[in-house]
Amino acid sequence: MSESPPILALKDVCKAFGAVRALQDVSLELWGGEIHALAGENGAGKSTLVKTLAGVHRPDEGQVLLDGRPVEFHGPGDAQQAGVAVIYQEPTLFPDLSVAENIFMGRQPRSKFGRIDRGALRAETAKLFERLGVALDPDRPARGLSIADQQIVEIAKAISRDARVLIMDEPTAALSGNEVARLFTVARTLQDQGCALLFISHRLEEIFDLCQRVTTLRDGRYISTELLDGLTADDLVQRMVGRELDTLYPKQETTIGAPVLKVSRLTREGVFTDVSFEVRSGEIVALAGLVGAGRSEVARAIFGIDRYDAGSVEVGTVELSGGSPTTAMSAGLALVPEDRRQQGLVMEGSIERNIGLTQLRSLRRGPVISRKVERDRAADWAIRLQLKYGRLSDVVGVLSGGNQQKVVLAKWLSTEPSVLIIDEPTRGIDVGTKSEVHRLLSELAGQGLAVLMISSDLPEVLGMADRVLVMHEGRLTAEIPRDEATEETVMAAATGQTRQEDVSGRASSGQRSAGSEATEVTKEDGALGAREPRSRQRAQGGRA
C-alpha cells in the first residue's frame, strides 16, 4: 500500500435506525487511484454506508477519516466541500428545472455580479454529455426523462464536481451496455487521475470488470476486504450470502395449456405499434428488449392503466374494454409493476394492509373491514411466500427489496389471477432472494398460471422463459422459443438487427416493419450503437 493515508475511510462505524442496526463496526478504506467495489445483498447496509460517506447520516460510533484525519460531515454540503461526489441509487433530480441546472445546482458558472452565466452553463453541460456520449438537450426540464436518462444526468452531476472521491451506488441498473461502457471509461480516467472510487452493483461481472478490490457486507456487518484478482464470482456470492446457492434458475417443467391472454394489434401512438401475442396457462413468456423499448408501456396498456389507440386484449374469453384496471382485475389479470416503491406498495403502510389492498371487498365483515381476516390472510401469504418480517404490522418500507417484492406478489396473488404480468421481477433484489422469486414464479406457472415477465436481465430471461418476445422501439421484433433463445438471438432482436428471415414464430409486426427497420438502422446508427448488447459484458461474468 502507498505511504499516504487513504483519501476517505470509515473506521469501526456503527449506525442504527431505531431498533434496526444498519451498520456494525464497519471499516472501509478508499485509496487514490483505485476502484473499490462494495458487495452485499440488499439490506446488507450498502446504501447506509454510502450515505454515511456522503454526510447524509452521521455515524453513531466510529469515525469518518479524510486523508487520515477524523472529520465530521454535518450534511451533504460538507462532504461535497471535501471533494466527495455521489451517484445515488435513486435519481435525485429537480423535475421543474432544466437538465443543465440540475447538474450544476449550487455550482453554476457565474458571470459578472454573481449572476448565472447561462451560456457557459449550457456549454459545460453539453461538454459533459459529449464525454458520456449521450444526446440530451441541456435546456429540457428533467420532468419526463426516462430512468436511464435520469441516471445519466446523475452521473454527469457527479463527474462535473471534479471530486477526489466518487461514490457510485448502482449507477448501471438502468443503463444500456454502451452507456455502461462510457461510464466505465470515465471511471477509469478518474482512477488514473488519482481519484478514489467506490462502486456498487448487483451485476458481479461489472464488479470484476471495473474494480480492483472488494469489501463485502452482510447484515450490516463487515465480512472481508480483498483483491478481486484470484477471486471467483462464486466466492463473492458466498461471502455475500454466507451460504452456497442452489441453482440460480430453478425452472420447472410444466404442462402448457390453452391461451389465456390474447393481445392483438395493440397500438398506442408514439409509444408502441401493432403488438400481438398470446400467453398460455402454465407458460412463462418473457418480454425482453432494451430500456425504453416500450415493454412496460404495453403491460400498462394491457392492464388498463394507460389507454390504447387500437387493438384488443382478451383474457380467457372476455375482451377487455381497456382503460380500466378494475375490469382487468376482475377478468383475472394481475400486474406487479416495475417500480415497487412508487407503484407497487404503500411504503408507509403495514405488511398486512399492503397485502389486503387488492382484496378490500372480501375482507369485509358487514360494512367494515375486519382486521382479523386481513391479518389471517396476510399471515397465510407470508408463510406461502416465505416472507422474512418482524411483525405483520411492520411498515413495508423497512423490509429489504426482495421481501418487498414478495409483499407485492402476495398482494396480487391473493386476487387469484389467471394471468400474472410481472415487470422486472428481480430488479434491485439481492442474489439470495432473487432465486427465491424465480422458484416462486416457476411454481406458480406449474400451478397453471400464465406469466408474462418483463425483464432486462438476460440470464433471467433465458433461464425462466418458455418463450421470449423481443421488443425494439415500440415494435415486437421477434418471438423465440426456449431452445432457440440465446443471448445473441435475443440481443440482435432487441437492438433491431433482426432480418425478416430471422424472425421465427408469428411475430406479426416483423414482416411489416422489416423494411423500414433496415433504413432505421442506417439512419440512427448512433442511437443503435448506444444500444449495444449488454450480453457481451454479461457473458464475461463468471456466473451468468
Question: Is 35 in contact with 195 (CB distance < 8 Å)?
Answer: no
Q: Minimal distance in Å, beta carbon 121 to another protein?
A: 10
* 12: phi then psi, degrees, rounded to nearest 5: 45, 50
> What x-and-dash track marks residues 107-126 binding another protein by CB under 8 A?
xx-x---xxx----------
Please name the amino acid found at residue 362.
Answer: S
The angle formed by the CA atoms of residues 488, 492 and 497, to the nearest 5 degrees, is: 150
Return the residue matching grid coordinates 421465427: 504
Q: Minimal distance in Å, beta carbon 137 to another protein?
A: 4
H helical segments located in 70-117? 76-81, 99-104
Q: How many Å apart are CA 334 and CA 279, to the nearest integer?
A: 14
Choice from 164, 375, 531, 538 touching another protein (CB under 8 A): 531
Q: How many Å apart are CA 87 and CA 159, to the nearest integer?
A: 9
Q: Minimal distance in Å, beta carbon 294 to another protein?
A: 6
| Exposed/middle/buried for residue 480 (C-beta within 10 Å: 0-12, 13-18, 19+) | buried
Question: Is 108 in contact with 101 (CB distance < 8 Å)?
Answer: yes
Choice from 92, 247, 342, 362 touching another protein (CB under 8 A): 92
Q: Minimal distance in Å, beta carbon 91 to another protein?
A: 8
C-alpha separations of 157 from 93, 175, 181, 535 in Å: 10, 16, 18, 28
97 binds another protein (CB under 8 A): yes
Give the residue with the Cβ less far from another protein, 72 or 416. Answer: 72
Helix (H) or strand (E) segment spanning residue 518: helix 508-523
Nearest to 67 by CA among 50, 54, 84: 84
492 binds another protein (CB under 8 A): no
292 binds another protein (CB under 8 A): yes
Give the residue with the Cβ less far from another protein, 49 or 355. Answer: 49
Q: Minimal distance in Å, beta carbon 210 to another protein?
A: 22
Q: Minimal distance in Å, beta carbon 452 to another protein?
A: 20
Q: Minimal distance in Å, beta carbon 114 to another protein?
A: 6
* Residue 247: half-sphere exposure toward Cβ, Cα within 13 Å: 7
Select the span of 14-22, 291-299, 334-342, 375-383 touching another protein (CB under 8 A). 291-299
Give the residue with the Cβ less far from another protein, 100 or 437. Answer: 100
Choice from 347, 373, 524, 543 touching another protein (CB under 8 A): 524
| Binding to another protein in span 46-85, by CB under 8 A | 54, 56, 75-81
Q: How many Å apart are CA 196 and CA 425, to the nearest integer?
A: 34
Nearest to 409 by CA among 344, 360, 349: 344
Choice from 68, 194, 242, 270 touching another protein (CB under 8 A): 270
Give the residue with the Cβ less far from another protein, 24 or 537. Answer: 537
Q: Which three cell numbers stand for residue 255?
A: 404442462
Q: Which three cell numbers stand for residue 153?
A: 444526468
Q: What is the distance between the terminal CA atoms of the chain, rounded to a whole angstrom?
A: 33
Give the residue with the Cβ less far from another protein, 160 or 212. Answer: 160
| Binding to another protein in span 164-193, by CB under 8 A | 176
Choice from 294, 356, 401, 510 touching another protein (CB under 8 A): 294
- Contact residues toward another protein (CB under 8 A) are 54, 56, 75-81, 86, 88, 92-97, 101, 105-108, 110, 114-116, 135-137, 139-141, 143-146, 148-149, 176, 270-271, 290-292, 294, 297, 473-474, 523-524, 526-527, 530-531
